[in-house]
Structure 1
Amino acid sequence: MDSKAKTLQIAIIEDEDAHYFLIERAISKKIPDVTIHYFKSAGEFLEKFYESGFDIIITDYQLPDMSGIELLEVLNNEGNEIPVIMVTGQGSEMVAVRAMKLGVWDYLVKSNDFFTLLPMVIEKVARERNLEVSLQKSEERFRIVFENSPIGIGLYDSKGYAIEINKALMNIFGVSGLENLNRFTIFDDVNMTDSLKTKLLNGETVRTELCYDLELVKKTNLYNTTKSGTIDIDLLIRMLDAKDDHRLSGYLSVVQDITERKKANENIHMLSQQLLQAQEMERQMISRDLHDKIAQDLSMLKIGCETLIDKNSRPAEDIYSKVSQLSDTLRGIITAVRDMSYELRPPGLDQFGIESTIYQYCKEFSEKTKLNIEFNSAGMGDINLSPDIEINLYRLIQEGLNNIRKHAAASHADIKLVASYPNIIIRIEDNGKGFDVNKRLAGLTNEKRMGLRSMEERVGLLEGKIAVTSQPGKGTKIFIEIPFKEKNNGLEKNSSDC
């Protein structure tokens, strides 16, 4: 026996003292950590049974007040779970069968090797009982976790019929019990797409976020639910294998209601978009003020300087030189102010469209930086983009080219802008020095350079995808995919909407 285990409590019901002492000696010799309780009749034992903590009961078949079979019946009526070993002087197959049907753990005949067999049987029964108790505790712990889990859990048989569901799953789908969900299989659920069903049938694990339509459930009479509308769920379904031969034994589903989380994320997303829009509006206002007021005033001042020189037949040389210098300075300031205005909000975007504006920007950028830029676009003339999408496409290319100028040490860049329904694709490639993408992205939070991070955030706000590929010495490629919004009679239509 395990030295750390508690003392084994054994009750022996035997009316012959001599035989009891032989049994007691055989047990104590082989199982030292044991306490034996001796009873001469079934009635005497039953008086102590209810207040005892016995681990094993050993009873003779022939007792003064009742038979061992009758004692088993009494114990079963009392809900006994303590293992019982029955001993008899003469073996009877009929008695043995009846005893086994009543739940006796073992049946021993008082043969020549009885006193050798009994301790071994007791140890075997104790081990089995300990395993059973451990299993019961484990099942109880599982049951507590299963029933009280805030996450919906469902167990299904090999055909996909529900065999057990917890309270959280009932609450998510608005049902009162298993009977609402066990009349159909998971493959019959109208919210399960064909691709998800195919994956399950192929033995694959399914993990997806699903917009679950409860109105469709009602319309098709799939099951009765107290809920209405739609809910967003995080769904995981995996196949359960039988341990012996890996045959399908059923399915486990784990479901979380993420409706509130999705709404919160959508609100954050909406606020971020509004912030971006407010930023662009502020930029537009500043750009307009710089171009229409400050630049115009500076231009008038420059003209005034030049006119001042013309009206004087020949001013002193130092005055002429000074006015010329001021005029040149004003010309430089006017150019800088107009460049700043164009950077804040390209005027051509509203007048000539996204293609022409980006083409012009690439041309001017190339002239200023000596970076050879090749710009190509396709399919953009066939769509009518919303202003938000247009300015963000412009900003992404602007940020991409500025990153190349600042960090890439490149001599050539390729820009591609393609409308490929339902997305707009941007490709930005350069032949610069490249970098280790993982190290760069990991270190962005500790650096002041926010070019890539800014592009990632902007793409995220547009519900798009961005992929950066680069290696030291082999240049950089940026792939951006954005679902576009078309203007439709003054309203915006998102091509990614269901």
Structure 2
Amino acid sequence: MKQVRVLLIDDDEDDYVLTREVFNQISPRYELSWVNSYEKGIYAILKKQFDVFLVDYRLGKGTGIDLLIEAINSGCEEPIIMLTGKGDLAIDEQAMNIGAADYLVKDEIDPSSLDRSIRYAIKQAGSVKALKASERKYRAIFEQANDPILVSDYSGRIYDINTAGLKFFDYERSEILQLNTNAVFSNAVDAEKFRELMESNGSLSDFECELISSKSEIYYCSLSSFIQTDMVNMEEVYHTIVHNLSHRKNIEEKSVSLGKMSISEHIAKGLGEEIRDPLSSVNLALDELAADSSIVYNETIQSYLEIIKSNCDRVNQLMQNFISSTETKTLNLQRHNILTVIEEAISEVQDLIIGHNIKLTTEFHQSEQKVLLDKPKIKNALVSVIKNAVEAMQIYPKMIHISSSSDGGMYEIGVEDNGIGVDPKDHEKIFEPFFTTKKRASGLGLTHTQRVLTTHNGSIKLKQLAQGSLFLIRIPIYHEGTLWF
């Protein structure tokens, strides 16, 4: 039979003698020791040499409550049973609230009640130790997980979040604990559907949705969640693991984009060949007609021929632009300071901006780090996007804000305007050849821009704002050996 080491902490020796007599009437498995001061009691607790402690409420220098508080704050996991000379409900409740295993009145102690109290206290302490060990293990897994983990409830209240989650959503812990989960869902429909599925199924896997960070960065994610009962607060909470699929989605989008470009290039070349021959024949016929002696001096006919010839030339030029916008050309890659490229692009459209009475503001990330790119192509792409912003504004005050930042090996350029924006139904079409909502526009500018950035392993995306649009251009800071030509 395993010995149970019991320590009595009591400054009265007579009480020790009485307590020892009670133990003599109980099972011999108890081994009673005694210290007679507060200091010796704390020292013994810190040494962790006993299985259970009996602590008198009055200890001279301090009270048993003081000792109980100090012991718990020092990490004591062994059960502490409070003893007092007379019953006091206030002391009883205070001791139990602080963490005492039990509370006994000395005059009412008998062998049976003391044995039962010690046995229950040890059993309870064992359960608490196991629970704490499990919590520590869970906490270690929780904090060290690479994926964000969020603990919330049906109402959306956030109880906890791990370090990866704080980094992902870019919040301080104190900030995000004040938020509702609606704040991290990009749209309310996903948030509501998530709650409905959780309540109906109790768990879910691979729930795909868009989440948003404190800086309004939108991530395409997959959520896996399950319900667990919080035994402390007796509430059901959702444990949700966030898998960021943005990289995978970007690869898929890039693959689709490359596929579209390949098809566009094939169609453009084929169409160009089909149109070039008839146009050449038409132009040749027009030249012959214009030189015919019977009509050479007929100004009316000659003017009509000029109109036909002019429009043939326009069709031919439009075809050439289309082919050029879909062609995959070899890049002349060199290292350039991206800020210099941005400033040159702005300089090229400065007169246009001034002519439209537009207020231009800039906010650049100052960096000497150079980017591997084809300078003329990237500059032209930036010029095209800025011109697009200029043309999008119709009402004063007209404003354009150009910003840049560096993040995760990518350089991001933002071109923001306060124009009319893009109709949501047109978002997927704006990079398609010949699509435009503007008068006298070819609809090839953004198509060409997207192709240039794709060949640089970069991207261009539209972000709709409450007023106006924001085009985000991303270019790798350095990606040697992986460029697509």
User: Which of the five TM-score ranges fits, normalised by the shorter chain?
Assistant: 0.3 to 0.5
TM-score w.r.t. structure 2 length?
0.45
TM-score by length of 1: 0.44
